[in-house]
Chains A and B, each alone.
Chain A
Amino acid sequence: MKPVLSLRGISKSFPGVKALQGVQLDLYPGQVTALIGENGAGKSTIVKVLTGIYQPEEGSIEIDGTPIRFASAQDASRAGVTAIHQETVLFDELSVAENIWLGHAPRTRFGLIDRRAMRTGATRLLASIGATLNPDLRLGDLGIASKHLVAIARALSTEARVVILDEPTAALSHKEIHELYDLVETLKRQGKAILFISHKFDEVFRIAERYTVFRDGQFVGEGAMSAVTEGELVQMMVGRSVDQIFPPRSHNIGPPVLTVAGYCHPTEFADIGFTLHRGEILGFYGLVGAGRSEVMQALCGITTPSKGAVRIDGEVRVIRSTHEAIAAGIVYVPEDRGRQGAIRGLPIFQNVTLPSLARTSRNGFLRLAEEFRLARDYTRRLDLRASSLDQELGLLSGGNQQKVVIAKWLATKPRVIILDEPTKGIDIGSKAAVHEFMAELAAEGLAVIMVSSEIPEVLGMSDRVIVMREGRIIDEVAGDRMTPETLVRAAAGIAEAA
């Protein structure tokens, strides 16, 4: 069988990061190909290349053996490639039928939108994927599963030949996931080539015929699902040798600093309980959307939990705002650096001192000399590369911005520091510096929580690892049990191999 679409030697880089290095991918008609890889393996970049949002620097895209270039999103859609994203990008205020037909709606003789044709067309398309949604409903009134159905119907309306499902089950319930499987079967029968991106192995084994594995932006392997085992896939994904070297750790663990018990939130997590000690790095592993960041944000007063107790040095503390969290000595280095961490328009030194202004100022008046001193101390410790402390933060690379954000939090002299995906999207050099620094902090007696989806990082840095799934703690792993297989299985809900 010949592939509908094949990519060869695709490379794409961003300042400081090689996102894809000469990767290949083949998609066959009527087959599901699973794309497997850790966070940062290059999966979302390849999706953007396939949908014409990124143009690769090297490599070729062929459809039916003919080379083609996607200069824009429209080009890709015209060539029959459609993606259904993690967060379905559609229009809440328009009806189901309009969402399906926007941009290529059937017309009446007078050039108006033919609403009857649109409605019957929508019903037909939805029926072809086994959905019975009323096409007149407003999209915003539907649940996420129904929105997926609409997005898929839209893909079908453009006569797509290649359908990309990017983590389609991340926000679905058990029942909805099964409906999605049926849908994928329907699409297969219609001869669509499907690229299925998922972290969950049970899913992949259930619906995919083929697999392709990426690691660190490189192609690792491909083949038929029937010829591979879970263990082999995990190994391909994680890599036999971890090519990163992690700094040595002194395992000098002191008394408990932070104790969390019976911590609950109405919709996001339940029954969270753990203890964090002085000098310890506690890893939090789980799939994207497992509720790890949500727990951390509640601990830092960004959201409000419904139940549970937080003790710092044995004393119960109620934290209702980030202001109070800082005062209590808990700080959170957020995952979404651009939106929640860095203030790009302000100079570096002002970013560093922002949460510590109470200390650098006198009676509410700024003291610039103090600010520069604080900024100098902490940026030097993090080995920041910048031309001056007065430089706008937005002009630095991602890795250096992350160093400033971490410096900002350290400057508050916290007891507990929570780092959420601290090395996401930054280059290898900065990554190593951040790792080195985390080890140093722990050695100095700080209690560190590291939320990470990168297995080598979690295993390389943590003393213990807590695994979360669907808003709950599933497992706590330490010592000999700290292996990639254990973490992946616990996070994905696969029974441990005998």
Chain B
Amino acid sequence: MTEAAKTVATGRAIPDRLQSRTTRALHSWETILLVVAVLVFVINSFASPYFLNAWNLSDATFNFTEKAMIAFAMAMLIIAGEIDLSVASIIALVSTAMGLAMQAGAGVPVLVGVGLATGLFCGAVNGLLVAGMGLPSIVVTIGTMSLFRGISYIVLGDKAFTGYPDGFDFFGQGYVWWVFSFELALFAVLALVFWTLLHRTNFGRAVYAIGNNATAAQFSGIRVARVRFTLFLLTGLTSGIAAICLTSRLGSTRPSIATGFELEVVTMVVLGGVSILGGSGTIPGVVLAALIMGMVTFGFGLLNVPGIVMSIFLGLLLIGVIAVPRLIRGR
């Protein structure tokens, strides 16, 4: 009998973990992000005397809160190996649907209901095409990106919806307590919800399994199509929530609303350490990435740097974040 066979009965004890969770956390991408966030904060405080002011900082959060809400769901979608490029267009369509509802005389609760339902509907369309029919998500969502925004253009043309009812402005302009806006509070709540969903539930585990090896996940009894469909529903829903906040903040709906958001959302997710090829990433990473992007945008704003230069910076950041580790590893 071989050596291996003799030890079967006893077996060896394998420790659960070699590194403590703290040690592991210290070596993670999130720690680097945290350091960067602190650095940006310090640099900004020195660069501009207006930075360290509670109200100014509070204003700055509007730079990222809406995008970050979508980024949480997008992170889960990308971890599962899919992508949704239609999120900004979902915002446009949701906002348009709310505008139509408003014209029909809907009150605030109905407006919110219409917004959430439209977002879910758009997510369901993407989900059916990708998970139901097995089409590639990149092309499908490039298509629905045109389609959803296209419907807004059909409805609105070069016009805009304005005159949302009183009370609706709370979602984008209201404050929960002191300098803490409703959007910031919602951002925090959603961060907690998505953190729990991704890191503390069976569903989250299934997302990682699918992103790493969808076939093996299916062989392991995971209902892959159902999980994928749900993820598209979630991006649709969070896009709907973001659309409510953005529409409320702007007080109007134009078909060009939120143009280019999809790029910023994807950048946020990738900067947050989510692998664009799927399989890994965390919600805390995305939260930190959102804070960094928000503070950088705010800092650039204080220095009177135009928005388009900020977008160059984002583009460089998106590529750099992926390229630099690969360059260091020698590929």
Tell me the A residues contacting B by CB distance below 8 Å: 245, 247, 302, 321-323, 325-326, 332, 334, 339-346, 349-350, 354-355, 357-358, 361, 364-366, 372, 376, 379-391, 408, 428-430, 432-433, 435-437, 440
A432 to B5, CA, bound (A): 6
B216 on interface, CB distance cutoff 8 Å: yes
Closest B residue to A331 using CB positions: B221
B65 on interface, CB distance cutoff 8 Å: no
Beta-carbon contact of B222 and A354 below 8 Å: yes
A420 to B12, CA, bound (A): 26
Beta-carbon contact of B205 and A366 below 8 Å: yes
Beta-carbon contact of A432 and B7 below 8 Å: no
A361 to B203, CA, bound (A): 11
CB proximity to A under 8 Å, residues B42-95: none
Chain B 181-205, CB-CB to A under 8 Å as 1, else 0, gives 0000000000000000000111111
Beta-carbon contact of B219 and A382 below 8 Å: no
Closest 9 A/B residue pairs (Cβ): A380-B11, A429-B4, A345-B212, A388-B18, A322-B221, A390-B17, A432-B2, A326-B221, A357-B202
Q: Do A323 and B221 contact each other (CB < 8 Å), given the known contacts A345-B279, A379-B14?
A: yes
Beta-carbon contact of A354 and B14 below 8 Å: no
Contacts of A386 in B (CB 8 A): 14
Contacts of A322 in B (CB 8 A): 218-222
A14 to B13, CA, bound (A): 27
- Nearest CB in chain A: distance from B183 CB, A: 28
Q: Do A429 and B2 contact each other (CB < 8 Å), given the known contacts A383-B7, A385-B12?
A: yes
Beta-carbon contact of B201 and A354 below 8 Å: no
Contacts of B200 in A (CB 8 A): 365-366
Beta-carbon contact of A430 and B4 below 8 Å: yes
Contacts of B205 in A (CB 8 A): 350, 354, 357, 366
21 contacts between A and B (CB under 8 A): A302-B218, A321-B221, A325-B221, A345-B212, A345-B213, A350-B208, A350-B209, A354-B217, A364-B202, A364-B203, A365-B201, A366-B205, A376-B14, A376-B16, A380-B13, A383-B4, A383-B8, A389-B16, A390-B18, A432-B5, A437-B8
Name the interface size band of chain B: 35 or more
Beta-carbon contact of A342 and B202 below 8 Å: no
Q: Do A342 and B7 contact each other (CB < 8 Å), given the known contacts A323-B221, A354-B205, A366-B202?
A: no
Beta-carbon contact of B8 and A436 below 8 Å: yes
Closest B residue to A357 using CB positions: B202
Question: Of A323, A339, A355, which one neighbours B213 at CB under 8 angstroms?
Answer: A339
A339 to B212, CA, bound (A): 10
A357 to B202, CA, bound (A): 7
Contacts of A382 in B (CB 8 A): 8, 11
Question: Of B17, B204, B280, which one neighbours A345 at CB under 8 angstroms?
Answer: B280
Q: Do A247 and B5 contact each other (CB < 8 Å), given the known contacts A354-B205, A376-B14?
A: yes
- Nearest CB in chain B: distance from A358 CB, A: 7
A428 to B3, CA, bound (A): 11
Closest B residue to A321 using CB positions: B223
A389 to B15, CA, bound (A): 6
Contacts of B11 in A (CB 8 A): 379-384
A25 to B16, CA, bound (A): 49
Contacts of A435 in B (CB 8 A): 5
Beta-carbon contact of B212 and A346 below 8 Å: yes
- A-B contact sample (14 more), CB < 8 A, given A322-B221, A345-B279, A384-B12: A323-B221, A339-B215, A340-B215, A343-B213, A354-B205, A366-B200, A380-B12, A384-B11, A387-B14, A387-B15, A387-B18, A408-B220, A433-B8, A435-B5
B104 on interface, CB distance cutoff 8 Å: no
Contacts of B217 in A (CB 8 A): 343, 354
B1 on interface, CB distance cutoff 8 Å: yes
Tell me the B residues contacting A by CB distance below 8 Å: 1-5, 7-8, 11-19, 200-206, 208-209, 212-213, 215-223, 279-280
Beta-carbon contact of B16 and A332 below 8 Å: no
Contacts of B203 in A (CB 8 A): 364
Beta-carbon contact of B17 and A342 below 8 Å: no
Q: Do A340 and B219 contact each other (CB < 8 Å), given the known contacts A366-B201, A383-B8?
A: yes
Contacts of B223 in A (CB 8 A): 321, 323
A398 to B220, CA, bound (A): 19
Question: Of A326, A339, A388, A440, which one neighbours B14 at CB under 8 angstroms?
Answer: A388
- Nearest CB in chain A: distance from B65 CB, A: 27
Contacts of A432 in B (CB 8 A): 1-2, 4-5
Contacts of A365 in B (CB 8 A): 200-202
A280 to B202, CA, bound (A): 34
Q: Do A342 and B218 contact each other (CB < 8 Å), given the known contacts A372-B16, A440-B8?
A: no
- Nearest CB in chain A: distance from B3 CB, A: 7
Closest B residue to A354 using CB positions: B220
Beta-carbon contact of B15 and A339 below 8 Å: no
Contacts of B7 in A (CB 8 A): 383
A376 to B16, CA, bound (A): 8
Contacts of A354 in B (CB 8 A): 205, 209, 217, 220-222
- Nearest CB in chain B: distance from A146 CB, A: 29
- Nearest CB in chain A: distance from B26 CB, A: 15
Contacts of B1 in A (CB 8 A): 245, 247, 432
A353 to B201, CA, bound (A): 13
- Nearest CB in chain A: distance from B204 CB, A: 8
- Nearest CB in chain A: distance from B203 CB, A: 7
Q: Do A342 and B14 contact each other (CB < 8 Å), given the known contacts A354-B222, A432-B2?
A: no
Contacts of A385 in B (CB 8 A): 12
Question: Of B5, B209, B215, which one neighbours A346 at CB under 8 angstroms?
Answer: B209
A429 to B217, CA, bound (A): 28
Contacts of B15 in A (CB 8 A): 387-389
Contacts of A341 in B (CB 8 A): 216, 219
Closest A residue to B17 using CB positions: A390
Contacts of B3 in A (CB 8 A): 429
A388 to B2, CA, bound (A): 24
Contacts of B221 in A (CB 8 A): 321-323, 325-326, 354-355
Question: Of A247, A343, A361, A379, which one neighbours B209 at CB under 8 angstroms?
Answer: A343
- Nearest CB in chain B: distance from A366 CB, A: 6
Q: Do A380 and B14 contact each other (CB < 8 Å), given the known contacts A354-B222, A366-B201?
A: yes
- Nearest CB in chain A: distance from B161 CB, A: 40
- Nearest CB in chain A: distance from B4 CB, A: 4
Contacts of B5 in A (CB 8 A): 247, 432-433, 435-436
A158 to B220, CA, bound (A): 46
Contacts of B201 in A (CB 8 A): 361, 364-366
Beta-carbon contact of A355 and B220 below 8 Å: yes
Contacts of A358 in B (CB 8 A): 202
Contacts of A436 in B (CB 8 A): 5, 8
- Nearest CB in chain A: distance from B14 CB, A: 5
Question: Of A342, A379, A388, A437, which one neighbours B216 at CB under 8 angstroms?
Answer: A342
- Nearest CB in chain A: distance from B199 CB, A: 8
Contacts of A350 in B (CB 8 A): 205, 208-209
- Nearest CB in chain B: distance from A324 CB, A: 9
Beta-carbon contact of B16 and A388 below 8 Å: yes
Closest B residue to A326 using CB positions: B221
A408 to B19, CA, bound (A): 24
A386 to B18, CA, bound (A): 11
A326 to B219, CA, bound (A): 10
Closest B residue to A245 using CB positions: B1
A408 to B222, CA, bound (A): 13
